[in-house]
Structure 1
């Protein structure tokens, strides 16, 4: 069978460009519309932009790779399906998907205070309404639509420090912005900082946090956890209620973005999604500068490294309060010591197989099933700790 002919014209896809946008620009090179290119150039039925960008047929992606000379993975990355399992666990809704994605981490609230929801047919980040969002300055430089503009992951463009705006139409054909340019409000610095981290996750696969770098998959789930915590019914906040109210007052938005009853973030209107993203950005900034104490098990990732105390010249042993002249450390100081030690162990384990094995054996002590050991291995993989040492211990008893 004769192999398909290479297309002579095929513009290079921009970073994180969506498949529908790239196909539209490619078709324009031949004076065609993208549906004509799909039908006549590929012998494929017409697909909507939403279908192309979500989960198009794999054989179509293979064909596009052959016609343009692009790597198959590069073509696949222009679709949502190409971001499984980093951004999505799966594109097939599962009964426990919300609990798995949103409730494994906690930042603001301790796990016992979290309200466990199980919305049906839920997928993270995929909005129920097809709102078109973009950066005005980005589109003025060229008709390229980024895949992640379709998701409520960011509310601003870190490159141009502008809010993402809603519009109608198709760039290069026509476009109508919902808000006049002179009505654009500048995004707060905390939102720019949040969106820079999300953009770093998208473009590099990891995010630099105060304590250490985390995998992009951890960041997406950490952010989604914060959005869930900020929309939790106020009766679950306990003594943190005033702190949460302070976050919303700082943003100038209604408490819980005006929600009277709980709804998943993905089902909200873009206006409320923006408000929640701004609140999450403000909350992260407050945790980092120490003006708000978060009680979740993952909150330490957002706290800065503890500074070393500067000696005031007092001789050791002259402090009072405990036997031996030593000051009793506070709970926060003990927690900082523990997290600092763990961070140091993780950093060492990435380069030293001996440390990695000791850390794995220590963590495996509490595993009581094969599934828990597999979860532990996945955690080590997310932390980028090599598991080469496991080949030497395959015969060991797997559970303590």
Structure 2
């Protein structure tokens, strides 16, 4: 059997370009439309842009890789399916998908104050209706459409520092910008910085937070958690109600983006989604500055490392007479102790096989599957902890 004929013309895909955009540009090299290229060159039925960018047939991706000489993983990365499990746990809705994705972490609110919802057919970041968003400056230089413009992950372009705007049409054939005046407001610095973190997660696979670097999958879930907390019903905030109101006042948007009843972030209008993203950015800025109380179990990731106390040269006073008079540590202080100890263990495990084994044995406690063993070993490899001396034990995933 002869190998498939290599196409002589096939422009290189841009970083994070969507499959529909790349196919359209490839087809235009031959004076064709993308559906004509699929039909006449590959014998495949016409697929909409949404079908191409979400989860097209695997054999079609393999064929495109052969015809263009691109790596198969590079072609798949132009689709949402190529971002499982980093960005999505799965592209098949499940009854507990919202709880698994959004409630794995907590930032502002302690887990006990969160209300767990089970929206039907829910997938993180994906709306049922496709919204066309893009950077006006980027599209002036060429008709390249980025995959992540379709998702409400970011509100700005990290290159030009402009808000993403909605449009109709297919660049470069036709484009009509439909952005309202409300969506053309000045871009807050905090939002731009948060969007840069999201772009770093997309481009490099990790994000540098004040405390330490985290995996991109952790960042996407942390961000989605914070958006959920900022749109929670007012009664869930308890004593933190005024703190949450200060976040919304700080960014100048209506409380809870004007929501009267809870709705998943993905179903909201783009204007409200931007307001929630601005509130999330403001909350992160305030948590890092220490001006916002955050009682979630993952809030410590957004705080800087505590500074070591500077000695004044004065000898310490006498110890407290009664042990009961000692001040009880706060939740933040306890979490600081935990994370500091964990960071110290990880550092020691990189050079001491015995510490590495103890850390591995501790992490695997309570797990039941071989898949979790592999996941834990992958996590140790990513942390550069040698696995040579480890016995076959069970482990936990770094994130679900």
Q: TM-score, normalised by structure 2?
A: 0.92
Distance 1:122 1:180, change over 3 A: closer
Give the whole-Å Cα distance in 2 for the aligned partners of 1:183 and 1:215: 31
The correspondence of residues 102-121 of structure 1 with structure 2, limited to 5 A, is: 102-121=102-121
2:133 maps to 133
1:164 maps to 164
- Asked if structure 2 preserves the Cα contact closer than 8 Å seen for 1:11 and 1:26, the reply is yes
Q: CA RMSD in A?
A: 2.5
Q: Give unmatched runs, 5+ long, in structure 2.
A: none
Give the whole-Å Cα distance in 2 for the aligned partners of 1:110 and 1:82: 33
2:245 maps to 245
- Residue 120 of structure 1 aligns to a residue whose secondary structure is coil
1:370 maps to 368
Distance 1:397 1:28, change over 3 A: closer
1:397, distance to aligned residue in structure 2 (A):
9.3
1:129, distance to aligned residue in structure 2 (A):
2.1
- Residue 13 of structure 1 aligns to a residue whose secondary structure is coil
1:98 maps to 98
- Residue 187 of structure 1 aligns to a residue whose secondary structure is coil
Q: Does 379-388 or 287-296 show the bigger shift?
A: 379-388
Give the whole-Å Cα distance in 2 for the aligned partners of 1:126 and 1:38: 26
Report Cα offsets for 1:225-273 as digits up to 9, x if no partner: 1111111111111111000000011111111111111111111111111
- Asked if structure 2 preserves the Cα contact closer than 8 Å seen for 1:231 and 1:262, the reply is yes
1:351, distance to aligned residue in structure 2 (A):
5.6
Distance 1:286 1:75, change over 3 A: same
Distance 1:380 1:108, change over 3 A: farther
Give the whole-Å Cα distance in 2 for the aligned partners of 1:304 and 1:23: 44
1:87 maps to 87
Q: Does 329-338 or 265-274 show the bigger shift?
A: 329-338
Give the whole-Å Cα distance in 1 for the aligned partners of 2:59 and 2:66: 11
Give the whole-Å Cα distance in 2 for the aligned partners of 1:17 and 1:117: 33
- Asked if structure 2 preserves the Cα contact closer than 8 Å seen for 1:161 and 1:186, the reply is no
- Asked if structure 2 preserves the Cα contact closer than 8 Å seen for 1:257 and 1:272, the reply is yes
Give the whole-Å Cα distance in 1 for the aligned partners of 2:211 and 2:137: 34
The correspondence of residues 306-321 of structure 1 with structure 2, limited to 5 A, is: 306-315=306-315, 317-318=316-317, 321=320
1:341, distance to aligned residue in structure 2 (A):
1.7
Report Cα offsets for 1:312-349 as digits up to 9, x if no partner: 2211x32664569x985742444323322222223443
Distance 1:357 1:131, change over 3 A: same
Q: TM-score, normalised by structure 1?
A: 0.92
Give the whole-Å Cα distance in 1 for the aligned partners of 2:197 and 2:56: 29
1:225 maps onto 2:228 in alignment: no
Give the whole-Å Cα distance in 1 for the aligned partners of 2:172 and 2:213: 39
Give the whole-Å Cα distance in 2 for the aligned partners of 1:196 and 1:344: 29
- Residue 304 of structure 2 aligns to a residue whose secondary structure is coil
Give the whole-Å Cα distance in 2 for the aligned partners of 1:319 and 1:134: 64
Q: Does 328-337 or 155-164 show the bigger shift?
A: 328-337
The correspondence of residues 1-400 of structure 1 with structure 2, limited to 5 A, is: 1-179=1-179, 184-315=184-315, 317-318=316-317, 321=320, 328=327, 330-331=329-330, 332-350=332-350, 352-365=352-365, 367=366, 369-370=367-368, 375=372, 378=375, 381-382=378-379, 384-385=382-383, 389=387, 392-394=390-392
Give the whole-Å Cα distance in 1 for the aligned partners of 2:182 and 2:118: 42
- Asked if structure 2 preserves the Cα contact closer than 8 Å seen for 1:356 and 1:385, the reply is no
Give the whole-Å Cα distance in 1 for the aligned partners of 2:338 and 2:375: 22
- Residue 162 of structure 1 aligns to a residue whose secondary structure is coil
- Residue 167 of structure 2 aligns to a residue whose secondary structure is strand
Give the whole-Å Cα distance in 1 for the aligned partners of 2:308 and 2:192: 30
Distance 1:398 1:15, change over 3 A: closer
1:91, distance to aligned residue in structure 2 (A):
0.6
- Asked if structure 2 preserves the Cα contact closer than 8 Å seen for 1:212 and 1:343, the reply is no
1:376, distance to aligned residue in structure 2 (A):
7.5
Distance 1:11 1:374, change over 3 A: closer
